[in-house]
Structure 1
């Protein structure tokens, strides 16, 4: 791909709706939970077919936690998902640029904000809020960005970490629309939806916790 010409990265357009994209992810997650994974699109022919183009059907913006490998928990393969990950799925300019690329260049119909229970970044933020002691280095930046979600949960008397994880997924999804005109416009014209999803580590299930114009 030549610099300055991102449109050359693909040759086809998505033909599925945001709701259909979510159903496809959900079907893959159900296979993962039941132990009946298909491991699709992981062979040599798929690899060769993607050399000059890609056509992912979902953007997954998730936490960097090693237990949250998106392609595994949704039973996906090469070229299926455009994945962006940061600790605590915190948003910065690079994240927004990556997600806008997925929407405006790859025409992906669905953005999934993927959180998970027992999240270390959310736990660190809860501890910082309760003790008043901020962590060192750039971890502090993560905590500062997650703090609004923790404070909202505490105001609603939700003190469990996993309740805070759900709130943070919801707030992150909403913040994407507030922060990016590209994403909010795509949602407004129904070409893209943004959803929040919480993943349960023990059972392996991904649950929808918020949605913006899914239908």
Structure 2
């Protein structure tokens, strides 16, 4: 029995990434609301729930860390049915995660796939520790840490351990995004211009999403909020 839930018929190729860029701008606006304490929690009322009973069509997919401090729908201030979200510690890819992301492309014509890492990531910290000690944790945890360690081993040393950890967080998000761009089931949509895969980093202290592939080192292009007093 087929399990794929088709949304609408596949549309023409995105013109110069227009739709993906527009959806990223929408995420930027939501993140600005979130970090300035102005979240509006859109599309969560009874009408939206009824609308989604028989059909969903999220054009944005997010692969994020499982960290409880980084819930994507809240970080981007999005509503029900807006994002197809998959979470794993350190954004580690396995067959189940990859199958879920491919499902999003097949079922919902994903236009933007965000790989969302964050500072102080426990999985990345564990991989850095494994690099320093030469030992992996046992069992399934060792598998997870080992996947991140493959990226950590490629990162140049930094002036401080904190800077090295953050460089590893950024490198991991970029590496996962690059792998996804070439993954069977996803690469055709990327090559045809129907989908963009973009790595990002969430800053816990500033509540801000930074897009890692921007030439400017971009942080969404929206000014930071003024410091709150009181």
Instruction: Report the TM-score when normalising by structure 1.
Output: 0.90
SS at match of 2:105: helix
- Checking the alignment, whether the CA contact within 8 Å between 2:117 and 2:200 is kept in structure 1 is yes
User: Alignment length, in residue pairs?
Assistant: 207
Comparing 147-156 with 136-145, greater Cα deviation is found at 147-156
> Offset at 1:210?
2.4
> Offset at 1:57?
2.4
Distance in 2 (alpha carbons) for counterparts of 1:107 and 1:144: 32
- Checking the alignment, whether the CA contact within 8 Å between 2:4 and 2:106 is kept in structure 1 is no
What residue ranges of structure 2 are gaps of 5+ in the alignment?
215-230
Q: List per-residue Cα deviations over 1:84-111 (Å, max 9, x = no partner).
A: 0001110011111111111122101000
- Checking the alignment, whether the CA contact within 8 Å between 1:55 and 1:80 is kept in structure 2 is yes
Counterpart of 2:173 in structure 1 is 169
What residue ranges of structure 1 are gaps of 5+ in the alignment?
none
SS at match of 2:28: helix
SS at match of 2:186: helix
Distance in 2 (alpha carbons) for counterparts of 1:182 and 1:26: 27
SS at match of 1:25: helix
> Offset at 1:154?
3.1
- Checking the alignment, whether the CA contact within 8 Å between 2:115 and 2:197 is kept in structure 1 is yes
Counterpart of 1:210 in structure 2 is 213
> Offset at 1:148?
2.0
Distance in 2 (alpha carbons) for counterparts of 1:143 and 1:37: 34
Q: For 1:1-215, list aligned pairs within 5 A.
A: 3-8=1-6, 10-11=7-8, 17-154=19-156, 159=161, 160-178=164-182, 180-210=183-213
- Checking the alignment, whether the CA contact within 8 Å between 1:158 and 1:164 is kept in structure 2 is no
Distance in 2 (alpha carbons) for counterparts of 1:64 and 1:48: 28
> Offset at 1:181?
2.2
- Checking the alignment, whether the CA contact within 8 Å between 2:8 and 2:108 is kept in structure 1 is no
Distance in 1 (alpha carbons) for counterparts of 2:55 and 2:46: 15
> Offset at 1:155?
5.9
- Checking the alignment, whether the CA contact within 8 Å between 1:57 and 1:108 is kept in structure 2 is yes
Provide the aligned C-alpha RMSD in A: 1.9
Distance in 2 (alpha carbons) for counterparts of 1:156 and 1:168: 16
> Offset at 1:156?
7.4
